Every structure is written in C-alpha cells, then in structure tokens.
Amino acid sequence: SQKIEQNSEALNIQEGKTATLTCNYTNYSPAYLQWYRQDPGRGPVFLLLIRENEKEKRKERLKVTFDTTLKQSLFHITASQPADSATYLCALALYGSSNTGKLIFGQGTTLQVKP
C-alpha cells in the first residue's frame, strides 16, 4: 500500500542545536517533495521544494535532502531557535494528470525548541 510517514509526532531539542526531521514514503514515485511549516490554527506555509533529480536544497538555516533510492527526505534546521517551534509537514507531488493539484501529506512532526 502507499504510505508517507514522518519519523515522529514530536521532537524536542535545545536552542542552537540542529533539528532533523524525516519523511519516508512507500510505493510512490514523486515528481517532487515539499516541506511546509504549520502553526496552530493556521494554514501551512511553504518552505522548500526539492525535485526528484536533486539531492539537496538550502535556504538560509534550512536544508532538505532527497534520496529516491531510500525513498526518504531529511529536513534540517540549523542553529534552531524557539521561534522555529511548529509542526512541519512533508508533501509529495506525483506525476500524471490524475494527480494534478493534489499534494499527499504526511502527518507532520511537531518540533519544540527549548531556550
């Protein structure tokens, strides 16, 4: 069956450390993968997109890797801050006209950065 799983529901780290979140998928062949941040009661905010032929993408303190052999993406936040505390969602976009406009989301990982 097709699944997309994020490593854990919650991750607690100390300020200044690197947070690493995992997204694994099964039986999908994604065109690309996106990461979103969601704060309570608000809509997801787009952070980064990585395509199937890309290994790594960076944006400021954020880094995403994508391994289509392992079927896994890792999302890193370096020098984490309490303001980074939120739920982080990974989402797959698939090829094909039957998948147009549709993202498949993981359940999310809630990150808590303690001062």
Backbone φ, ψ for residue 83 (5° rounding): -65, -15
Among 36, 66, 75, 88, binds other proteins (CB under 8 A): 36
Do 39 and 86 contact (CB within 8 A), yes or no?
A: yes
Among 8, 16, 17, 46, binds other proteins (CB under 8 A): 46
Q: Which of 54, 51, 28 is nearest to 106 (CA)?
A: 28
- Sorted by sequence, the CB contacts under 8 Å of residue 43 that are 6+ apart come out as none
Q: In whole angstroms, how close is the CB of 108 to other proteins at the nearest point?
A: 7
Q: Which x/- pattern over 48-77 shows residues binding other proteins (rule: CB under 8 A)?
A: -x----------------------------
Among 89, 109, 111, 113, binds other proteins (CB under 8 A): 89
Other Cβ atoms within 10 Å of 87 Cβ, number: 18
Q: In whole angstroms, how close is the CB of 26 to other proteins at the nearest point?
A: 16
